Structures are given as structure tokens and as C-alpha cells.
Amino acid sequence: MMKIDVLSIFPEMFSGVLGHSILKKAEEKQAVSYQVVNFRDFADNRHQTVDDYPYGGGAGMVLKPQPIFDAVENLVQKAEGKKPRVVLMCPQGERYTQKKAEELSQEEHLIFICGHYEGYDERIREHLITDEISIGDYVLTGGELGAMVVIDSVVRLLPGVLGSEESHIQDSFSTGLLEHPHYTRPADFRGMKVPDVLVSGNHRLIEEWRKKESLRRTHLRRPDLLEEIELPSDMKKLLAEIRNQSE
């Protein structure tokens, strides 16, 4: 079972996300356990202050190292098994990808640190964390929403969580490409019809159509992804056909 701990001064934000849908079912299946800790409880002052003015001046407040160090050390001491990955949610971090989600899903214990205010004391970055993650090139009011995104993307990859073990294998980005289009009943909705190949029953042609449409969608929407992967010869041929059709 994976163990996920979250450090936040707003732990109530997580109840709706972790307590519903796939994330809740994953915990019920004992694929994962969650704990959200208010690191304000670890502050060593009677007012439970977790931030202070930055040395050298400047706008905003900075999260102090002591409460976060003590909170993480407490969780590590209580945990059994391997040393956890300690993930700092921060817009300066590594941009999050499906590859990173797959990497984190192999861990036994993850600790997420959600910050607020102007930023973190640099000693947290230098001496406490193992990973620093950003979910995009923009700034949020805190790390909670980012942590929820990462947790959701990791937990759905755990064995037995999704209804079909093949679901996440075919996801966009898992193969390096965007996923092909999907259709369901009715076959004709207000004159908008499902492609004939999908109702043909010919599985070879269906698979070829899906490959080609995955390539087409990636070529049109995220051509940068095609520069990062080595396609097999049959898919290179399909991509050449798509590019010729686009000209």
C-alpha cells in the first residue's frame, strides 16, 4: 500500500478531493492511505506562527524552516519501510509530466509540502526535499491545488485502482502521444455519425485507425511531442501520410 502524507496549513481543502471518486475508492481498496497534516501544529511558538519576514527585506512573508522540518521528520520517524520521497510544490520546480507520475507511482511513501505566502526558506529546498514540482508556468495562491493534481495522477496508476489495467496505458502522454478520439452510442446522433471503421468489427483496421488518429491529433495539437519520441517504422509511415494530407 502506498502512503501519502500532505503538509498544509489548510488541510480541510483536501477532504472533498480525497473523499470522493477514484481517490476514495483507491483508499477503500487499500491501494493507498492518506494523511493531511497541519504543519502549524509543529510551530515552536505559542502563536503557532509558520512564516516570518525575509532577510534583506522585500515584499511578502516566507515560510520558516522549523515547522516544516519538524513535521517531515515526525512523519518519517513514524513511517515504516523505505525513506519517503518529499515533494515540494512550487512554481519554480520541475514541470510535471505523465512520466513523472509513473515514476512517483512506484514509491511506497510520498510526502507533499504545500506552501503559501512569498515562498519557502531556502534551507527547506537544500536539505529536506527530494523533488520540487510545478504543474505549470503560472502561480497559485498555495500548493494545495497542485498537490491534489499530482496525487490524483499518481493514485490512478496504482495497481487495481482503475477498472481496467489497460486504461492508463492508453492515456494521452503515456505512449508519448495524445490519445485517439473516442465514441459511444448512438452511432448516429443528430446526423453526426461514428466513423464507419469503429462499427466494422475489423479489429486490425480499428487498431490502425486509432494509431493514425492518435498521430494526427498529436501532430495538430502538440507537434512538440513528436520531436521527443522515436516512432516505429509503421507509425512513421502513417505520420508521413498525415503530414501530406495537411499540406
Q: Is position 232 annotated as part of the catalytic site?
A: no
Residue 128: per-residue pLDDT? 97
Identify which has the larger pLDDT, 82 or 177: 177
51 is in an annotated binding site: no
Residue 171: per-residue pLDDT? 63
Q: Is the pLDDT of residue 43 over 70?
A: yes
Residue 168: per-residue pLDDT? 55
Which H or E run contains 103?
helix 98-104
CA of residue 32 relative to chain centroid, distance: 15
146 is in an annotated binding site: no
For residues 25-39, give the mean pLDDT. 98
**CB 12, CB 38: distance < 8 Å:** no
What are the beta bridge partners of residue 33?
3
Tell me the HSE value of 166 on the side-chain side, using a 13 A CA sphere.
Answer: 0
> What phi and psi, each to the nearest 5 degrees, are found at residue 233?
-60, -40
Question: Where would I find the beta strands (DSSP E) of the chain?
Answer: 2-7, 32-37, 51-52, 62-63, 85-95, 109-114, 119-120, 131-134, 188-189, 192-193
63 is in an annotated binding site: no
138 is in an annotated binding site: yes
Residue (of 189, 194, 181, 179) closest to 225 by Cα position: 179
pLDDT tens digits, 215-232: 999 999 999 999 989 999
140 is in an annotated binding site: yes
Average pLDDT, the chain: 94
Q: Is the pLDDT of residue 166 over 70?
A: no
Q: How confident is the model at residue 81 (pLDDT cuts 50, 70, 90)?
A: confident
Q: Is position 165 annotated as part of the catalytic site?
A: no
Q: How crowded is residue 93: how many other Cβ atoms within 10 Å of its Cβ?
A: 18
Identify the active-site residue in 40, 156, 213, 216.
156
For residues 67-83, give the mean pLDDT. 93
Q: Is the pLDDT of residue 163 over 80?
A: no
Q: Is position 118 annotated as part of the catalytic site?
A: yes
Residue 167: per-residue pLDDT? 57
Q: Is the pLDDT of residue 170 over 70?
A: no
pLDDT tens digits, 173-211: 778 899 999 999 999 999 999 999 999 999 999 999 999
**CB 17, CB 148: distance < 8 Å:** yes
Cell of 150: 499530482
137 is in an annotated binding site: yes
Pairing between strand 188-189 and 192-193?
antiparallel
Identify the active-site residue in 118, 131, 152, 208.
118
Residue 36: per-residue pLDDT? 98
Identify residue 11 by its one-letter amino acid code.
Answer: P
For residues 87-105, give the mean pLDDT. 97
Among 40-44, 162-166, 230-234, the minimum mean pLDDT is found in 162-166
> What phi and psi, each to the nearest 5 degrees, are found at residue 200?
-80, -25
Q: All domains of the chain, ordered by start, with CATH? A: 2-155 (3.40.1280.10), 188-246 (1.10.1270.20)
139 is in an annotated binding site: yes
Pairing between strand 119-120 and 192-193?
unpaired
**CB 70, CB 40: distance < 8 Å:** no
Share of the chain above pLDDT 90, in %: 89
Identify the active-site residue in 103, 131, 171, 179.
171
* Long-range pairs of 211-215 with CB within 8 A, sequence gap ≥ 24: 211/180, 211/235, 211/238, 212/238, 212/241, 212/242, 213/180, 213/181, 214/175, 214/177, 214/178, 214/179, 214/180, 215/177, 215/239, 215/242
Identify the active-site residue in 91, 108, 152, 179.
91
